[in-house]
């Protein structure tokens, strides 16, 4: 039972919630402000709970809409497998969204109405990623959602909570983190393009084709390294240098998706993409710390 729920949470995707908080905290220190650890911990828990809630809604709704069947080539899903009913999975998602709301209450006292707005929109979009009258993932907007809310908004929001300023450095870092996080979604969508087309799930690969999807993945993998030049120009050269250490993995992922047709092997590429996202974030974080 516990193992099945952990599988439903999709632990390999949870770097999306962890990396922006770790990197944002390191940036606060690099900007020579004091880190209030309770802020980072509350933000981390809220981010994790939103991510898990989003994954659970996705699990239940994709099965209901026919996107997840016994023919899927991606990892096993608990609703599709019959391990849990869609109602139970959706109810559990609601519990995690509520927990995220509770974690956000202390942050609201710290940051005021901007944090209220960020928190409510994040939770609503987590639900609306695959559910509701305008499901983002079914309209080709899932990639943008991830860039914004698991990148730009997460990092900028955390930095704002600490220093009460909206900083360009936080926007730049959030963009880098968001791009690499979205590589996972882009590979997932390319892998599932044929099945998604059958159920009218209008992801970007379905809308614009496999070639477009491959170039999107290349863009998302490699542009953060171009942005790295910004850190050299602002004096954070250690963060700039260390980030480049993971460039070979980004190049490898790009080469693999260009030379391989969508198939179960893309699940291995997803693991590599998660490693890229985590390693890049940790290396840049280390650069800020030292």
Give φ, ψ of 164 to 5 degrees: 60, 30
Label residue 12 exposed, middle or buried (CB < 10 Å: 0-12, 13-18, 19+).
middle
Q: Which residue has the tokens 């709704």?
A: 61
**pLDDT at position 140 over 90:** no
The structure's pTM equals 0.89
Q: How many domains does the chain have?
A: 1
**Banded model confidence at residue 73, pLDDT cuts 50, 70, 90:** low
Q: What percent of the chain has pLDDT over 70?
A: 93
- pLDDT averaged over every residue in the chain: 88
pLDDT at 288: 92
Report how far residue 8's alpha carbon sits from residue 11's, in angstroms, rounded to the nearest whole number: 8
pLDDT score, position 18: 92
Q: What number is the average pLDDT over the span 68-87?
A: 67
CATH code for the domain in which residue 117 is found: 1.10.600
pLDDT band at 192 (very low <50, low <70, confident <90, very high): confident
φ/ψ of residue 287, rounded to 5: -60, -40
Q: What b/e readout covers 260-275, taking b as 16+ CB neighbours within 10 angstroms?
A: eebeeebeebbebbbe
Q: What is the DSSP string of 183-218?
A: HHHHHHHHHTHHHHHHTT---HHHHH-HHHHHHHHH
Report residue 68's pLDDT band, with 50, 70 and 90 as the boundaries: low
Residue-range definition of the domain harbouring residue 219: 2-289
- Amino acid 284: pLDDT: 95
203-227 residue pLDDT tens = 899 999 999 999 999 999 999 999 9
Q: Which helix (H) or strand (E) holds 99?
A: helix 86-111
């Amino acid at each position: 039972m516990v193992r099945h729920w952990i599988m439903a949470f999709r632990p390999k995707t949870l770097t999306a919630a962890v990396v922006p908080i770790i990197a944002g905290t390191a940036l606060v220190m690099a900007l020579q402000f004091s880190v209030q650890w309770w802020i980072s911990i509350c933000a981390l828990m809220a981010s994790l709970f939103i991510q898990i809630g989003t994954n659970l809604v996705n699990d239940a709704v994709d099965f209901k809409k026919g996107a997840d069947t016994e023919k899927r080539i991606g990892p096993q899903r608990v609703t599709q497998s019959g391990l849990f009913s869609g109602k139970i999975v959706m109810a559990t998602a609601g519990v995690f969204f509520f927990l995220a709301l509770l974690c956000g209450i202390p942050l609201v006292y710290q940051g005021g109405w901007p944090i209220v707005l960020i928190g409510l929109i994040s939770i609503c979009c987590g639900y609306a990623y695959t559910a509701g009258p305008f499901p983002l993932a079914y309209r080709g907007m899932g990639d943008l959602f991830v860039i914004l809310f698991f990148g730009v908004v997460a990092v900028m929001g955390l930095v704002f909570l600490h220093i009460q300023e909206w900083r360009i450095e936080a926007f730049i870092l959030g963009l880098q983190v968001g791009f690499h996080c979205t590589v996972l979604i882009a590979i997932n969508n390319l892998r599932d393009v044929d099945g998604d087309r059958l159920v009218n799930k209008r992801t970007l690969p379905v809308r614009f084709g496999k070639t477009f999807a491959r170039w999107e993945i290349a863009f998302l993998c490699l542009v953060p390294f171009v942005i790295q030049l910004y850190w050299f120009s602002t004096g954070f050269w250690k963060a700039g240098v260390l980030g480049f250490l993971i460039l070979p993995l980004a190049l490898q992922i790009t080469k693999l998706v260009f030379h391989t047709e969508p198939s179960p092997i893309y699940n291995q590429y997803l693991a590599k993409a998660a490693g890229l996202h985590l390693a890049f974030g940790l290396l840049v974080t280390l650069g800020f710390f030292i």
